Each structure stands twice: as structure tokens, then as C-alpha cells.
Structure 1
Amino acid sequence: MTAGLVLQYVVVALAVLLSAWVVLKKQAPNAARRLRIALALPLMRDGRPAWMRAVGRRIAPVPIAANTCGGCDSCGPAQR
């Protein structure tokens, strides 16, 4: 195999993975969130190198605030 062919396969594989991720996020956002959590938690454990913890923080999804008021689910600022 020549280097050009290997590079072509790598680029195609990355494009397929990226498109699969976009479809997963659109069609199953909860599953995508659980997958991100499952990938990030092992990287963020105590005793891991700093670079590995940084990768884990980058992969981890934004925390969801608990809805403690039980109200209208619009916890943002009041609109006028």
C-alpha cells in the first residue's frame, strides 16, 4: 500500500466517523450524552496524567442543572 492510499483511507474513515457522530447527536441525543460520559469518566479519574484529565474534561458534556423548583422549566432570566 502506498502512503497516498493509506492517507485516503484515513480521511474517509474520519469523515464516516464524523458523520456518524452528527447523526447520533441528532437522532439520539441522550445516547450521545451517555456515550460522552462513559468515555470521559475513565479519563478523569484521580492519578491520571494532566493531559489525560484535560482530554476527559473536553469530552465530558456540560452538566445539566437539576430542576428543583418543579415549575415551568424555564430557569433563565425573566423576559420583558
Structure 2
Amino acid sequence: MSTSFVVQYIVIALIVLASALYAFRKLAPALTNRWMASASIRFSQPGHAAWVRAFGRRLQPKQATGDCSDGCSTCSACGPKPPASAKGDAMPLEFRPRQR
């Protein structure tokens, strides 16, 4: 196997890994936030080198600010909107015959 094939397989593996991590983060945000927080705590301990502590600070997940754009889903206020008919803003359907 030549070197170009090895490099090609490594690049493909990195792309697949990045895609899987992105999808996992989108599908399970609470779980990945817990994992990122625990990794951040481990890397940020005082006994590590400065670059390791900086990496740990970078891994720290964003904190929920109580804003509806956080996606924290703690208050259930950001859930799906009720249909228009439930609000009383219902618009009646109008059926018209086909034009010939």
C-alpha cells in the first residue's frame, strides 16, 4: 500500500469522525455537554501544563443564560408552538371550484 492511500484513508477517517461527532452533539446535547464539562475539569487542574489548562478552558461548555436561544430545555418554554387553531387565530378554509 502506497503512502498516498494511507494519507487518503486517514483524511477520510478524520472527516467521518468529525461528522459523527457533529451529529452526536446535535442529537444528544445534554450528554455531550456533561462529557465536555468532565473533560474540561480534568484538563484544567493546576498540575497540568499551561497549554493543557488552556485546552481544558476551551472545552468548557457554554452555560445556559435563561435565553430561549440556549436550547437548555429546562423550562419547557422553548418547545413547539401550538397550532394556529389552538390560539384562536384560525383562518377558515375556502373551497373554490376549478376554473375551466
TM-score by length of 1: 0.71
**Residue-by-residue CA offset, 1:6-51 (whole Å, 9 max, x unaligned):** 2112111111111111111211110111121122221101111100
- Equivalent positions of 1:17-56 (< 5 A) are 17-56=17-56
Aligned-partner SS, 1:55: helix
Runs of 4+ more than 3 Å apart: none
Give % identity: 35
- Equivalent positions of 1:1-80 (< 5 A) are 1-65=1-65
Q: 1:3 to 1:37 in 2, by over 3 A?
A: same
Shift of 1:64: 3.0
2:31 and 2:49 map into 1 onto residues whose CA distance is: 28
* One-letter identity of the residue aligned with 1:13: A
Q: Which runs of 5+ in 1 are unaligned?
A: 74-80
Aligned-partner SS, 1:45: coil
Q: Which runs of 5+ in 2 are unaligned?
A: 67-74, 78-100
TM-score by length of 2: 0.58
Higher-helix-fraction structure: 1
- How large is the Cα RMSD of the aligned pairs? 2.1
